[in-house]
Structure formats: C-alpha cells, structure tokens
Amino acid sequence: MLQLIKNAKVINEEGQLELKHIVIGNGTIQSITDAGSELPQLDGEFTEIDAEGKLVTPGFIDMHVHLREPGFEHKETIESGSRSAVKGGFTTIACMPNTKPVTDSADTVSLVLEKARQANLAKVLPYAAITVNELGRELTDFEALKEAGAIGYTDDGVGVQNAQMMKNAMKKAAVLGMPVIAHCEDDSLVKGACVSEGKFAERHGLKGIPNESEAIHVGRDILLAEATGVHYHVCHVSTEQSVRLIRQAKEIGIKVTAEVCPHHLVLSDEDIPGLDANWKMNPPLRSPRDVQACIDGLRDGTIDIIVTDHAPHSEEEKAKGMELAPFGIVGFETAFPLLYTKFVATGQWDLSFLVQRMTSDPARVFGLNSGVLSAGAPADLTMIDLDQEQEVDPNTFATKGRNTPFTGWKLKGWPVKTWVDGELKWSEQQG
C-alpha cells in the first residue's frame, strides 16, 4: 500500500529546507513533490501521515557498530541493537566481527544475516574478521566471507600488529574489490592503559594511551594501501596526528577514507568527571587540541563520515571502574541530537553538512544504494523533530546498554519516526 507523508521539510540540493509531499510504496520513494501544489493524486488505498513541517532525511547509515551477537547477548542482541538503531534514526548499520565466536567464518556471517532478517528492523551489513579469531596470526577465508555476505574485513577491537599480515590482507581484499577497515592501535605503545595520555591521566596517576599508538598504524597502513591499491578505511579517528596523515595521503591520491565518532567531536579528556567507566572507550577521549583537529578534519573532508561505534556493555561490567571495565559506550540513540545540538543549533555547521556525513557520504564511501532522498531510492527515511528538547535518560534506551557519558544532557533534534524499505519500524507514539 502507498503511504503519503505530507508537509515534510526536506533538505534540497542547495542545502535549503523545502516543504514537500513524499509518496512511498513497494519499498521505494515513488515521488517527492512541492507542498505548495496540490496533494499528489494516488490510485487505490493509501495511508497518510502529516509531518507538520518536521524534517525528513534519508535514514542514517552507521558503518561502525557492535551488536554483540553471537556470544555476548547479555550486552546486546541483533534484535535489541537494531531496535536501538531505528529509534536513533538509523536504517542501515554495519556490525563489527568481535563477537563470540568471532565473525571469521561464512557460517557466522550467515547467522548474523539470519538474525537480522528475523529482527526485521534495520538493514544489517556484517563485517568479517581479517584474521582468524582476531588473533593476528592467520588470514581468514576472504573469498568465502565475501560470498556469505560480508561487506569488508576488519579486526575491530584490536589492531593488526604485524605489517606483513596487514599487507597480505590488503592485497587479497584489493583483488576481491573489498575494503579493509582498521582499528589502529599499536600494542607495544599501549601497555594496559585505560585513558589517554594527558591531563586526566596525570591528575589521577594513571598510565596513558599515547596518540602515536593510533597514528603509527594509520601511517603504516597508508603506505600499505598505497602499495596494494586497496580501499583502506580508518576506524574512529581520534588524534591530530592521524588526521594529518590521512589529509596528506588523500592529497596524493591514496585510496583512504576515515570515520569519526560523536564523542570524539564533543568531549575531551578534560571533561571526564572522575573515575567513571561510562567515559571509557577506545580510542580514549583525547586532548581539546585533538578534538579540534577531528572537527577540522571532518569539515575539510579529510574525515568522510560519522559513525557511532555503538559499543554496549552490561552495568556489572562497567561497574568494575575505570581501570578494569571494558572499553566502549553506546551511541545510536544520542548521535543525531548530540551533534545537532552541539554543532547545528549553535550555527557552526549547516544542517545539510551533518545529515550528509550520516547518510549520502557513508553510502558513497561504501557503495550503498541508500542515503539519498529521490524517486526510485529505497524508502529508508527518518523523521526528526528539531525543536523537541529532552534530557538523555538511559532508562528510556532501546539498547540493553546504559553506558553513556551523556546522561542528563539536554538535547534537541530527536528522531520521531523511522522507515526501512517503506515500512515504519519505529515511531515515537508506539514507544
């Protein structure tokens, strides 16, 4: 059946807001017409939703998330994670392979896809591991993993320590036309630290994670990407040095792309209130100077896309404290309101800039057919109430995770409805 979404504010190609009527049906966008003119004439039965001037964007695309299934269902399941995603306005999410078992076999890729099909919420795109069990010793079967539906290779959670191993991975991926996605961290420079080197670590007498532990892998991998011609994508960029290296690599035409997380754009180590593990993630919150470099990198196109790195953990695990708790914070349900409130509502970014980094840019970088509002495109849509102001309350989250540093933050711009392939998957009214 057709659905008419009338009086929706959409961002046009010039980045201006225009009032439109959107018709969706058969999973795709059928038409987008001026709200100034007549309502479109629809044959047969249709449902009607009045957007009343609320913003409608392409559904958000998050290319870096942890859904924890199989193996860590106490933290999240594919069902609970996808529900959290659609509540946050995300319609496509790419999940990391650091599950139990690690997603390093065709069977596990198939299992993830089957669970996602059953959940029937967001579109779930699985990544497969670069090395067996993410141990860095032996490459996985890249061909079989691609065949099973994996969209790229990554050992997210750990860095690939051996340069020759990484080079072999890139060579294979390049032949298959697949990207290599890297968690950049040199273990010899980390040595069991839980926060960044810097003011917070000094004040609390903690060992710190140095910026070089990330950037040294970025630099190494850029050289390996140049040598192999692979599409190399850098995970969760957090340092000034990484931004500099990626900028230089892009200038000379190396096929490198990069992502940044909302928390690395909004928080520095100086904001950490105390030894609370809801502020612990990998990479850690860095200095204000690094935060500014990430913002500048996103602004000038060095960093291509925004991802959440949604990383749920149980309250028991996070209660172990800053040094012992696992790294990671949840992200789906706060990402857009956080960035909208911090950067768009304050006049620093255009709304279209933020929306593109969460929709058309990830689609372009990873070759997806979604991320745009035009007739014929998949009807993956997000409706957002830009005026609605609300405090972040983890007790209302759809994710099983409660691990966020943003509790109590007053934010504007909350998603209120999400459609995937034309089906309404979440609505504020339904809760």
Ligand X SMILES: NC(=O)N[C@@H](CC(=O)O)C(=O)O
Residues catalogued as catalytic? 309
Other residues' Cβ atoms within 10 Å of the Cβ of residue 95? 30
**Which residue do the tokens 């896309």 mark?**
305
The burial of 245, by beta-carbon neighbours within 10 Å (0-12 exposed, 13-18 middle, 19 or more buried), is given as buried
Helix axes 240-251, 288-299, angle to 10 degrees: 30
Residue 262, phi then psi, degrees to nearest 5 = -50, -45
Determine if 183 is a binding residue for Zn ion (CB under 5 A). yes
Q: Which helix (H) or strand (E) holds 415?
A: strand 410-420
Stretch that binds Zn ion, among 79-87, 244-252, 309-317, 398-406 (CB under 5 A): 309-317
Annotate each residue in 136-165 with x if it binds ligand X (CB under 6 A) or - if it does not, as one string.
--------------------xx--------
Per rule CB under 6 A, is residue 420 in the interface with ligand X? no
Instruction: Give the nearer residue to ligand X in terms of CB position, either 32 or 96.
Output: 96
Q: Is 240 an interacting residue with respect to Zn ion (CB under 5 A)?
A: no
Residue whose CB is less far from ligand X, 188 or 429: 188
Site for Zn ion in 132-171 (CB under 5 A): 156
Least separation, in Å, of the C-beta of 61 and ligand X?
A: 17
Residue 156 marked ligand-binding: yes
Residue nearer to ligand X on the CB measure, 245 or 330: 330
What radius of gyration, in Å, describes the C-alpha atoms of the chain? 21
180 close to 146: Cβ distance less than 8 angstroms: no
Instruction: Work out which of 240, 269, 304, 309 binds ligand X, going by CB under 6 A.
Output: 309
Tell me whether residue 183 is annotated as binding: yes
Strands 2-11 and 17-25, bridge-based pairing: antiparallel
Tell me: is residue 68 an annotated ligand-binding position.
yes
DSSP assigned state of 284: P
Residues 276-295 that bind ligand X (CB under 6 A): 281-282
Regarding 327 and contact with ligand X (CB under 6 A), the answer is yes
Span from 77-85, 215-223, 240-248, 325-333 in contact with ligand X (CB under 6 A): 325-333
Q: How far apart are CA 309 and CA 329, in angstroms?
A: 8
Contact (CB, 8 A) for 1 and 27: no
Q: Does 311 bind ligand X (CB under 6 A)?
A: yes
282 is in an annotated binding site: yes
Residue count (the chain):
431
> In terms of CB distance, is 403 or 418 closer to ligand X?
403
Sign of CA dihedral 74, 76, 79, 84: positive
Tokens encoding 56: 């409608």
91 close to 418: Cβ distance less than 8 angstroms? yes
Contact 7, 30 (CB under 8 A): no
Positions in 356-395 near Zn ion (CB under 5 A): none
Which of 237, 345 has the CB closer to ligand X? 237
Bridge-based pairing of strands 180-182 and 195-196 is unpaired
Report how far apart, in Å, the C-alpha atoms of 425 and of each of 323, 416, 420 are: 38, 11, 7
Residue 193 to residue 173: CA distance in whole angstroms: 32
Q: Does 221 bind Zn ion (CB under 5 A)?
A: no
Distance, CA of 412 to CA of 423 (rounded, Å): 25
Q: Is 259 in the site for Zn ion (CB under 5 A)?
A: no
Binding mask 4-43 for ligand X (x = CB under 6 A): ----------------------------------------
Binding of residue 6 to Zn ion (CB under 5 A): no
CA within 13 Å, CB half, 141:
10
**Closest to Zn ion by CB, 53 or 71:** 71
Residue 317 touches ligand X, criterion: CB under 6 A: no
Verify binding: residue 309, Zn ion, rule CB under 5 A.
yes
Contact of residue 281 among Zn ion, ligand X, none (CB under 5-8 Å per partner type): ligand X
Answer for which of 98, 99, 105, 257 binds ligand X (CB under 6 A) is 98
Q: Which residues are annotated as a binding site for substrate?
A: 66-68, 98, 282, 313, 327-328
Residues near Zn ion (CB under 5 A) are: 156, 183, 235, 309
Residues near ligand X (CB under 6 A) are: 66, 98, 156-157, 183, 281-282, 309, 311, 326-328
